[in-house]
Structure 1
Amino acid sequence: MSSVKVNRPPTALSAEQAVAGLKDYGQLTCDADGVLFWVEYRPEEAGRNCLMRYANGVGQNLTPPEFDVRSRVHEYGGLSWCLIDQQSWVFVNKQDQQLYRQTLAANAPEQLTFRPESRFGEPHYDALHHRIIMIEEIHSDKNVSNRLVFMCLSSGLITVLHEGQDFYSSIALSVDGLQCLFISWDHPNQPWIATQLHHCCFDKPGQVISSKVISSQVLAGSDLKESILQPSFDADGKIWAITDQSGWWNLCCYDTDKQALLPYWSVEADCTTAPWQFGGYHYVFTQDSVTVMRLEQASAALIQLRRGEVIRQLGSDYHQFRAITAWQNKVYAVVNSVSRLPHVVEIDHISGEIRELSGSELNSDNPSANEPSLSTSQLSLPQHVSFSVDSGEAFGFFYPPLITSSDSSPENDASQALPLLPPVVLFFHGGPTACTYPVLNPRIQYWTQRGFAVMDLNYRGSSGYGRAYRLLLHKRWGITDVEDAEAAVRYLSDRGLINARQAFVRGSSAGGFTALAALAFSDCFSGGASLYGVTDPLALATATHKFESHYMDWLIGSPATQQKTYQARSPLHHVKQIQVPVIFFQGELDAVVVPEQTRSMVAALQQQHTSVEAHYYVEEGHGFRSAANLADALEKEYHFYQRVISS
């Protein structure tokens, strides 16, 4: 029998290097003097998040080792800190979810809140009234409730700004401190489906102007037919937001006469991404212009606008922009490209000049020797592909292998080994309402450097392709995404790019469900991996956290009335149809996909003697954060596929 021989090149990334490149940045803010701050995610410190201050060309870590800047409101968190002035700030600590104040002079943080039943998130400093406006998420024995609160920094008193909605996010204050915007939504909606925009006015003492306790006017979204995100005020007090009323998330400005959000820039492209975390911004005001991200076919550009017209594109070498902020004529953002890991840049919006401030290899006070350093010639670059499906097209990014597998059977001389079509690994992103982008992912390069092709799939239902495409997964999760996976394999195989008999699927969380569903309901695949993936959507609907507790209603149907539909989609209920090897990776602290789901699936596969491996990580939750565990999982998955190919 012929065997496939794959020799990795001398420069191939190790698993440790592949995950070390996952260092990330976010939550950028400038102080009144233009000094830049950001939060840095460090996998080499078990996923700890540190607040960084960048001054005089050096990044300074402000977070003591025993603290971690991370909110867990909505489970996924987001903005976890804010500046008070140039010398002090407040942040949410991961361990107890309480708010702390810290200064440059005194490194030891001071605890401000003492509510163990509460989590806090998205703090904003109201300078006029010397208080913090933020989300409070209260966890009781019976339920979880969310509300907006003020906390007076002088007295520590916490009072309610707004309550009664299921969720809140995207707080924005006017420059004069007399107005406030925020977003709310209720079950069963998610923020990428339908939200409402609220507006509050305060008097100078800080009270809400009304005879009622709460004076919130719903400015837009009351018909629940649009997703309104990222509201803000400009320097003149005008209200802005991103809404998908046109079918695309476009930048709009509120017209007080017409009492409606009207398009400022109409483009058939999204100007933001699905908001799994709160507090992110994809546009910013820069003197007499607006700078906004444009996302076309999941590839981003940064566009400078004036009076609704395009002036120029900034940072054209990059393909993803996040956490955008500005000071004077400088725009700051976290950027990625096809050949660069995430890093922080400064862009002069007048000259277009770019200055790199931080990245895996730049200006770090805690560099890792394992972080990868690769030239473009050592990378497999993404190729955007579209292929036909029942309702039109689906999309993804194809990465060819960097080396070619060969037939090393005895009848072939080693010097004349015949090239073979490569095996392929299909990557399914999480969410499932999310997106994959054409940016450097060392884990993808890990596979291509070992002779595997990779298809990074944006199946129907992904964000980044407009509202209509995003809604195509409605009531069809486990069907449409699997159909697109099959279509992707056919597309690549018909063009002689892959060996369709060696196609593997992998995914984490919701992507893990798609991977397992593909193994259960399709015969196109030779094996797969589930990283904390959903095995039984009905169990997820009844056991998951509040933020996603009604998400299944939209993705599949009502758990109360459509149990047969859930059983029909469940890989666990169709485990007998899985006849190919599967490997599982699960965190024991996972509150989203509880470990019992994975254990039930593994036990069922073992009982029917299907080849299966399972690896559990005691200290991990939903989404592995430890570099050691990430590397261990990646290496185990690779060797698992190698054994399948060789068998």
Structure 2
Amino acid sequence: MRRSLESVLHYPDAVSQVQATAEATYWLATIAAEDGRVTVRRTDGNHVVDVTPEANVRSRAMEYGGGAYSADGLTIAYCDDRTKRVHLVDGDAHRPLTPADSQFVYGGLHLSLADGVVLAVREDHSAEPEPRTEIVALSVHSDGDDEGRVVATGADFYAGPVLHGGRVAWYQWNHPNMSWDTASVWTASLADPSDAAPVYERDGVSAQHPLWLGDGKLAYVTDEHGYWNWRVDGGAEWRVDHDCDGPTWVLNGPQAAVVDERSIATVEYIDGRGVLAVWDTLSGDVTRLLTDSTDIESVAASAGQVVAVVQWADRPATVTSVAADGVRAQLAGGAVDGEVGDIALPQSHWADGPAGPVQGWLYLPSEPNPPLIVFTHGGPTAMAGASYDATIQFWVSRGFAVVDVNYSGSTGFGREYRDRLRGQWGELDVADAEAMVRSITGAGLADPARVAITGGSAGGFTTLKSLVSTDVYAAGISRYGIGYLPTLATDTHKAESRYCDGLVAPWPEGRDVY
């Protein structure tokens, strides 16, 4: 069945960022009918409640936000995009913790009622020449005038603060690195953070997303051995040849959660597809709870049950709980607005790129020798997944093949794959997309005379460069694409202000390369 344009433009409500306590399961719901307002919802297993019906729950920290709420029992702390304040909801009591009209922006929240604080990543936008980033503790007893007590300061970036037994853990990094280049895990006492010290710090290694196990041991992710794998400080490592985490573009928590004193539920990216697994840190056993998913956007756990925002190939994301015996329950999401029709399922397709194998997700229509559209994702340190995409389904239903390319520099395939693009942006990504086209058309899966390319932001740059430097495309569309790299290097936000140093060359010393 041919899909209409309306089926693409009318988005259903979306779900993201699950959390779980002994009393309830929470998630963020993006409400299409309210101009994309984001609210916190929760369920006790019987009823769904909108916890923040008047708010737009969103953070603006680190430009892209993340970590906009945190739950403890039946209490939540959240960032309101409308008032720019951190609020606390405790039963019927709803009050701001931070002042109005502040120069501070907050994100990466972690609520601990036992310690009486909300940990937060705070940006001071009055600082020059760029915002100063710190970790602070906000009092849950504030009457709306608490700007935060500093827990960690001095690094360029902070993320992932978590608290256990009076100790705070987080990860940090400094210019010119991005977090996936070099990042370190630290801890400090909440009462007296002057004892702050690194737990894991190595140049050229990305360590991130600390989690406190129930026994007080600290687990975190490191790509020391080439892939983002979990390890327990001073203890076990789970070493596998695929990533078990993703890049820090936002201040959300890890794609993982502590199940009990010894186990961690986490995403695993196997051939680019995110599945849900549980790692027993003592025995080393791994149990895969979900293998038919395409990605695991966030994970929570309570009372031995794992809850995740799960993405699928044939429907939008769901909030799904999975018991230890594998029994599932869908709590929210998954609705397709309007037409459904036949779903084109993705096939993992590998091509030989100039720097190594390149993966993409290929969608084929029923018609032979179709025209081909090449999708190039943004980032460029991002990932093309196999999850349901109404736009892709629209094109396939109308007889087009689509390939979503994970060119060199993409995440989800280990550090070597990701680092290939260093100093090669605009060259290797272009060559990889071309190699993918030639592989698909060479196999007779698409018409080589009818190939188009499209992408947005960094993918728009790849699109533009492909159109002027290769001969495989008949047409292309750059959507809000980057067209002039020097401007990107000199006129962007703090989080990406040194991004091009690694992708292209240090600025301004490498001006000629740009």
- TM-score under structure 1 length normalisation: 0.75
Deviation at residue 105 of structure 1 after TM alignment: 1.7
In structure 2, what is the equivalent of residue 637 of structure 1?
none
1:232 to 211, 221, 227: 211
Deviation at residue 99 of structure 1 after TM alignment: 0.9
Instruction: Give the letter aligned to residue 461 of structure 2.
Output: F
In structure 1, what is the equivalent of residue 27 of structure 2?
38
- Are the aligned partners of 1:389 and 1:487 in contact in 2 as well (CA < 8 Å)? yes
Instruction: Give the letter aligned to residue 80 of structure 2.
Output: N
1:24 aligns with 2:46: no
2:192 to 200, 207, 221: 207
Alpha-carbon distance in structure 2 between the residues aligned to 1:48 and 1:253: 38
Alpha-carbon distance in structure 1 between the residues aligned to 2:12 and 2:159: 27
- Are the aligned partners of 1:250 and 1:263 in contact in 2 as well (CA < 8 Å)? no
Secondary structure at the aligned position of 1:241 is classed as strand
Q: Report % sequence identity.
A: 28
Alpha-carbon distance in structure 1 between the residues aligned to 2:102 and 2:491: 22
Alpha-carbon distance in structure 1 between the residues aligned to 2:267 and 2:357: 24
In structure 2, what is the equivalent of residue 185 of structure 1?
173
- Are the aligned partners of 2:362 and 2:403 in contact in 1 as well (CA < 8 Å)? yes
Alpha-carbon distance in structure 2 between the residues aligned to 1:473 and 1:194: 16
Give the aligned length.
508
Secondary structure at the aligned position of 1:457 is classed as strand
1:273 aligns with 2:259: no
1:59 aligns with 2:32: no
Q: Which runs of 5+ in 2 are unaligned?
A: none
Instruction: Give the letter aligned to residue 277 of structure 2.
Output: I
Pairing of 1:12-411 with structure 2 (within 5 A): 12-21=2-11, 23-33=13-23, 35-65=24-54, 67-86=55-74, 88-106=75-93, 109-110=95-96, 112-140=98-126, 142-155=129-142, 156-157=145-146, 158-174=148-164, 176=165, 178-202=166-190, 206-208=191-193, 214-221=194-201, 223-255=202-234, 263-287=236-260, 288-306=262-280, 307-349=282-324, 351-361=325-335, 371-372=337-338, 374=340, 378-402=342-366, 404=367
In structure 2, what is the equivalent of residue 549 of structure 1?
497
Q: 1:206-265 deviations in whole A, cap 9, x for unaligned?
A: 333xxxxx32101112x322111110111110010011001011110101xxxxxx6521
Alpha-carbon distance in structure 2 between the residues aligned to 1:427 and 1:520: 17
Deviation at residue 98 of structure 1 after TM alignment: 1.8
Deviation at residue 111 of structure 1 after TM alignment: 5.6
Instruction: Give the letter aligned to residue 112 of structure 2.
Output: D
Secondary structure at the aligned position of 2:513 is classed as helix
Q: 1:567-624 deviations in whole A, cap 9, x for unaligned?
A: xxxxxxxxxxxxxxxxxxxxxxxxxxxxxxxxxxxxxxxxxxxxxxxxxxxxxxxxxx
- Are the aligned partners of 2:211 and 2:257 in contact in 1 as well (CA < 8 Å)? no
Alpha-carbon distance in structure 1 between the residues aligned to 2:496 and 2:415: 20
Deviation at residue 186 of structure 1 after TM alignment: 0.5
Instruction: Give the letter aligned to residue 315 of structure 1.
Output: L
Alpha-carbon distance in structure 2 between the residues aligned to 1:488 and 1:434: 18
Q: 1:399-438 deviations in whole A, cap 9, x for unaligned?
A: 0124x3xxxxxxxxxxxxxx6x211111111110111112
Alpha-carbon distance in structure 1 between the residues aligned to 2:333 and 2:289: 19
Alpha-carbon distance in structure 2 between the residues aligned to 1:557 and 1:43: 41
Secondary structure at the aligned position of 1:425 is classed as strand
Instruction: Give the letter aligned to residue 61 of structure 1.
Output: D
Alpha-carbon distance in structure 2 between the residues aligned to 1:435 and 1:163: 31
- Aligned CA-pair RMSD: 1.9
User: In structure 2, do the counterparts of structure 1 residues 373 and 311 end up closer, same or farther at CA, with 3 Å as the change threshold?
Assistant: farther
Alpha-carbon distance in structure 2 between the residues aligned to 1:489 and 1:232: 42
User: In structure 2, do the counterparts of structure 1 residues 153 and 115 end up closer, same or farther at CA, with 3 Å as the change threshold?
Assistant: farther
Moved more, 277-286 or 266-275: 277-286
- TM-score under structure 2 length normalisation: 0.94
Larger Cα Rg: Structure 1 or Structure 2? 1
Pairing of 1:238-637 with structure 2 (within 5 A): 238-255=217-234, 263-287=236-260, 288-306=262-280, 307-349=282-324, 351-361=325-335, 371-372=337-338, 374=340, 378-402=342-366, 404=367, 421-566=369-514
Secondary structure at the aligned position of 2:439 is classed as helix
Secondary structure at the aligned position of 2:433 is classed as helix
Alpha-carbon distance in structure 2 between the residues aligned to 1:74 and 1:245: 25
Instruction: Give the letter aligned to residue 42 of structure 1.
Output: I
Alpha-carbon distance in structure 2 between the residues aligned to 1:142 and 1:553: 18
Q: 1:299-355 deviations in whole A, cap 9, x for unaligned?
A: 122222333533432122212112101011210001112212100001002x11001
Alpha-carbon distance in structure 2 between the residues aligned to 1:308 and 1:291: 15
Moved more, 21-30 or 134-143: 21-30
- Are the aligned partners of 1:21 and 1:341 in contact in 2 as well (CA < 8 Å)? no
User: In structure 2, do the counterparts of structure 1 residues 253 and 487 end up closer, same or farther at CA, with 3 Å as the change threshold?
Assistant: same
- Are the aligned partners of 2:15 and 2:332 in contact in 1 as well (CA < 8 Å)? no
- Are the aligned partners of 1:502 and 1:525 in contact in 2 as well (CA < 8 Å)? yes
Secondary structure at the aligned position of 1:122 is classed as strand
Moved more, 39-48 or 73-82: 39-48
Alpha-carbon distance in structure 2 between the residues aligned to 1:303 and 1:32: 21
Alpha-carbon distance in structure 2 between the residues aligned to 1:477 and 1:436: 17
Q: Whose helix fraction is larger, Structure 1's or Structure 2's? A: 1
Alpha-carbon distance in structure 1 between the residues aligned to 2:91 and 2:401: 49
Q: 1:82-140 deviations in whole A, cap 9, x for unaligned?
A: 22541x3221111343212234425x654633353211111212334312211111112
User: In structure 2, do the counterparts of structure 1 residues 311 and 122 end up closer, same or farther at CA, with 3 Å as the change threshold?
Assistant: closer
Alpha-carbon distance in structure 1 between the residues aligned to 2:195 and 2:390: 49
Secondary structure at the aligned position of 1:499 is classed as coil
User: In structure 2, do the counterparts of structure 1 residues 96 and 562 end up closer, same or farther at CA, with 3 Å as the change threshold?
Assistant: farther
In structure 2, what is the equivalent of residue 616 of structure 1?
none
Deviation at residue 565 of structure 1 after TM alignment: 1.4
- Are the aligned partners of 1:265 and 1:308 in contact in 2 as well (CA < 8 Å)? no
Alpha-carbon distance in structure 1 between the residues aligned to 2:300 and 2:361: 29
Deviation at residue 22 of structure 1 after TM alignment: 6.1
Alpha-carbon distance in structure 1 between the residues aligned to 2:33 and 2:384: 24
- Are the aligned partners of 1:135 and 1:169 in contact in 2 as well (CA < 8 Å)? yes
Instruction: Give the letter aligned to residue 122 of structure 2.
Output: E
Deviation at residue 19 of structure 1 after TM alignment: 4.2
In structure 2, what is the equivalent of residue 4 of structure 1?
none
Instruction: Give the letter aligned to residue 25 of structure 1.
Output: V
- Are the aligned partners of 1:134 and 1:149 in contact in 2 as well (CA < 8 Å)? yes
User: In structure 2, do the counterparts of structure 1 residues 551 and 20 end up closer, same or farther at CA, with 3 Å as the change threshold?
Assistant: same
User: In structure 2, do the counterparts of structure 1 residues 224 and 41 end up closer, same or farther at CA, with 3 Å as the change threshold?
Assistant: farther
User: In structure 2, do the counterparts of structure 1 residues 143 and 60 end up closer, same or farther at CA, with 3 Å as the change threshold?
Assistant: same
